[in-house]
Amino acid sequence: MKTVYLDYAATTPVDARVLKAMLPYFCEQYGNPSSLYSFGREARRAVGQARRQLASLLGAEPDEIFFTSGGSESDNWVIRSLSEEALRHGGGHIITTKVEHHAVLRACEALPSGIEVTYLDVDSEGRVQPEAVESSLRPDTFLVSVMAANNEVGTIEPIAEIGAICRAHGVFFHTDAVQAVGHIPVSVKEWQVDALSLSGHKLYGPKGIGALYLRRGHKLAPFIHGGEQERGLRAGTENTAGIVGLGEAAAIAAAELAEESARLQGL
């Protein structure tokens, strides 16, 4: 009996072209990207190329891309870093929704006293109203986090409208776009997001690799302390093969997005 797999919202198989791009970085080009000699320089070049490929898919600049272990880490990094900064100034307020991924909801639930969170309702189709976001803003609101596409029911949220509201009020806006990147057009500039989370295994890339887009002019506290990787914000020897795989998956998604979107809408 042939197995039919339909849960691509949970994870996707690695594209054969992605695997082919990754393989040399396990046994042949195995250098540490932080090393100064040729093996390290080759690995560093590959990481840089992947950063450019991912930035191109998002309409971002390469220096706005930070590689992480996945969407959950990226979500936690934004929420925890901004909350710690707010607590240094007496606390503050976050707005999110009741339908976020657990990486956002549980990160908010784990915040210490001094951070208040408003969880917005959604309509019968799972859509959050931009007006509800705006009416919930307070003078001490320092973060709004709304997912781009829901992982359970597939609702695409009005991110550009919410982004315009947050930009007008000077509030940091983050979106968990794990389910959106590679499947619908994503433009961080048109969406007016300050940060965006994504994960490689949702777009035919490998598991254990993701990224955070962080708009120029913003800085987060380091999520992992140690070396100077990811410009000093995310320590740890780079997962070169995973990063290369994510970059290749992003390049494939950019090239085939229109065709793939039409195919999925037909289904």
The answer to whether residue 7 is domain-embedded is: no
pLDDT tens across the length of the chain (267 residues): 889 998 999 999 999 999 999 999 999 999 999 888 888 899 999 999 999 999 999 999 999 999 999 999 999 999 999 999 999 999 999 999 999 999 999 999 999 999 999 999 999 999 999 999 999 999 999 999 999 999 999 999 999 999 999 999 999 999 999 999 999 999 999 999 999 999 999 999 999 999 999 999 999 999 999 999 999 999 999 999 999 999 999 999 999 999 988 888 888
The answer to whether residue 2 is domain-embedded is: no
Rg (alpha carbons) of the chain, rounded to whole number? 19
The domain that contains 98 carries what CATH number?
Answer: 3.40.640.10
Residue 149 near residue 156, CB atoms below 8 Å: yes
- The CA distance from 182 to 164, in Å, is 23
Per-residue pLDDT tens over the stretch 254-266: 999 999 888 888 8
Residue 193's domain comprises 16-266
The answer to whether residue 6 is domain-embedded is: no
The answer to whether residue 193 is domain-embedded is: yes
> 92-97 and 172-176 as β-strands: parallel, antiparallel, unpaired?
unpaired
Residue 173 near residue 192, CB atoms below 8 Å: yes
The answer to whether residue 224 is domain-embedded is: yes
Q: How many domains does the chain have?
A: 1
Beta bridge partner(s), residue 116: 93
